[in-house]
Amino acid sequence: MEGLITHRKQHLQQLDALLKSVFLEMFGDPMRNDRDWEKPPLRSFGKITTGNTPPRNDPSNYDSPHIEWIKTDNITVDAVFVTKAAEYLSKAGAKRARTVDADALLVACIAGSLESIGRAALTDRTVAFNQQINAIQPGADVDPIFLYALFKLSRTSIQSHATKGMKKILTKGDFEQIPMVKPPFELQREFAAVAKRIEALKSRYQQTLIDLETLYAALSQSAFKGELDLSRIPLPAVALEPPPMEDVTALTVDLDVPAPALPDLGLAVEELATEAGQLKMLTAWLEWWQNHHRAQPFELATFLNRAEARLQELYPDSDLELGMAAYEQIKTWVFAALDAGQLVQELEPASKRIALKHAHA
């Protein structure tokens, strides 16, 4: 499971690199402007607003959750959209606050470190925001997704306009004068269409990662609570002698024998291109795996890797791949097998990792 978590994190990093590569291919380096795009000041990209804080000495500004009040900690490095706010404003507070609609870009412009200056995220809802943030509500000739990517690749340039004191500040006046490349709107839209597909895939992988980490944490917690079946783990009272060499040889003679392959079910490519077809295949493969690997712990990552590899072996000329529905099917099977007692959780003494073992191995 740890291997699959690492694998998913690598996928997310690769998708980030892909998005950057697409931007640079279409527009070049925005800081060098090697494509000679128009480079007007930021104020030409849309309406710029600095947030504020409704008076704290008036409790009525904060006494009911009417609208989210975004702060710089809601603008994270990896998220396209601002995260959910911890604090809300009331209707009265909203009237005294500054708000933006969906598709605005919120930019951190006051921070304790230079690294935080220029961090940006889009809004997907109407929000209020505090005075550490400058917002750009894009004009009709600016695509929000393009603007977000532009800021991601222009952080160094943006940071160079901040004050040099202990507290880094980028005033609204300085912010709206920063020159930025502005390619034709149609090109911006073309980039945004590609970026949305990449972000959709990232979202799927991110949810997979969250689910994997949740499952791993739940299994780990079971170990700490003593809910694992430890009766199968031998606890020798005396030190064990090394095994004789002939026994070691007997254990290793089969290492070169390839593991049995997942069966060919004879399913058509067209059927496997559907969610129902993949679920049919995985159900059969999971049953086969359980019958042929009873002596080994069930490793979700190992099964997934073998399933993906077998899919490519059986259908080399197709672009079939296991998606989110496949992962959900495997996860559902694992939990059902645990509930039915077909799989049990055991602690491996050597690695101190939780293993999923077949109950009647």
39-67: pLDDT as tens digits = 999 999 999 999 999 999 999 999 999 99
Residue 15: HSE in the Cβ half-sphere, 13 Å Cα cutoff? 20
Quote the percentage of the chain above a pLDDT of 70: 83
Map out the domains of the chain as residue ranges: 40-180, 228-235+263-358
Any idea which residue has 């412009």 for tokens?
109
At 240, the pLDDT band (50, 70, 90 cuts) reads very low
Which among 66, 85, 65, 67 has a CA at the least distance from the CA of 75?
85
Domain 40-180 has CATH 3.90.220.20: yes
> In Å, how far are 270, 277, 314 from 266, measured between CA atoms?
12, 11, 9
Quickly count: other Cβ atoms within 10 Å of residue 216's Cβ: 17
Cα 214–chain centre separation: 14
CA dihedral sign of residues 343, 344, 347, 352: positive
pLDDT of residue 66: 97
Global pTM reads: 0.62
Phi-psi sector, 46: left (phi>0), alpha (psi -120 to 50), beta: left
107-131: pLDDT as tens digits = 999 998 899 999 999 999 999 999 9
CA angle 295, 299, 305 (to 5 degrees): 120
* Residue 345, SS3 per DSSP: strand
